[in-house]
């Protein structure tokens, strides 16, 4: 399972927004972006106004890092979204929302997408009763995602209680905390994504 390595807080500072890569820490005053709301590097103040290409690149990088996806995978999702009949940018975001690690994160059973990937990678998660260890597995409406192991379930229950105070579960997901189970009740919509994302800029970046 490939991952994005390096300092997580530096990524948030580079993109200028919270990517919620460290779970509950991002919700507190300990968040690095709250303390140092400027890009990393010694001469960040010398950087001029970004070009149109630079803005498009930053938006693409922001979303890719937010979901914790490598460039090759992200571009593959874009190609798939471009073939859809719907708006390409919206289709891309909805594909990302279907990912197994994102479903666990949105359900508050995982404090961050990174923690969700660890639960999946350590084989604590089942989909429709079958163990799944691929974080990019695309969950469909009606699928039952369950944190099956005792250790994983304890983590999920703890997260649901703590994380649930800071953010809410979207309406398209039905969560049974005690069972560690989440079921998508319908397809997610663009309005269900709370982060400020300009998906059209990503389409323009790949369409150059």
pLDDT at 52: 92
Distance CA 124, CA 24 (A): 21
- The pLDDT > 70 percentage for the chain reads 76
Q: Are residues 78 and 139 in the same domain?
A: no
For 154-207, what is each residue's pLDDT tens digit?
A: 888 887 777 777 778 999 999 998 899 999 999 999 999 988 899 999 999 998
CATH, residue 50:
1.10.1050.10
Mean pLDDT over residues 56-65, rounded? Answer: 91
pLDDT at 168: 86
Q: Are residues 43 and 75 in the same domain?
A: yes
Q: Are residues 23 and 70 in the same domain?
A: yes
Band (pLDDT 50/70/90 cuts) for residue 32 is low
Mean pLDDT over residues 92-103, rounded? Answer: 96
Tell me the whole-structure pTM to 2 decimals: 0.81
| Spatial contact of 36 and 11, defined as CB atoms under 8 Å apart | no
Domain that holds residue 36: 8-96+194-206
CATH, residue 164:
3.10.290.10
């Amino acid at each position: 399972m490939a991952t994005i390595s390096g300092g997580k807080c530096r990524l948030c500072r580079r993109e200028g927004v919270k990517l919620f890569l460290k779970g509950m820490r991002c919700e507190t005053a300990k968040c690095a972006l709250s303390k140092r709301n400027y890009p990393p590097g010694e001469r960040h103040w010398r950087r001029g106004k970004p070009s149109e290409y630079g803005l498009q690149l930053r938006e693409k990088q922001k979303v890719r890092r937010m979901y914790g996806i490598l460039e090759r995978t992200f571009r593959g999702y874009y190609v798939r979204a471009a073939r859809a009949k719907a708006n390409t940018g919206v289709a891309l975001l909805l594909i990302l929302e279907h990912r197994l690690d994102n479903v666990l994160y949105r359900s508050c059973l995982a404090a961050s997408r990174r923690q969700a990937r660890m639960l999946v990678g350590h084989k604590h998660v089942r989909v429709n009763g079958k163990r799944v260890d691929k974080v990019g597995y695309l969950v469909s409406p009606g699928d039952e995602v369950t944190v099956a192991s005792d250790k994983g379930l304890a983590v999920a229950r703890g997260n649901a209680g703590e994380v649930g105070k800071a953010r809410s579960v979207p309406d398209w997901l039905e969560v049974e905390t005690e069972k560690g189970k989440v079921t998508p009740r319908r397809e997610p919509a663009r309005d269900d994504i709370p982060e400020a994302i300009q998906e059209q800029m990503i389409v323009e970046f790949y369409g150059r």
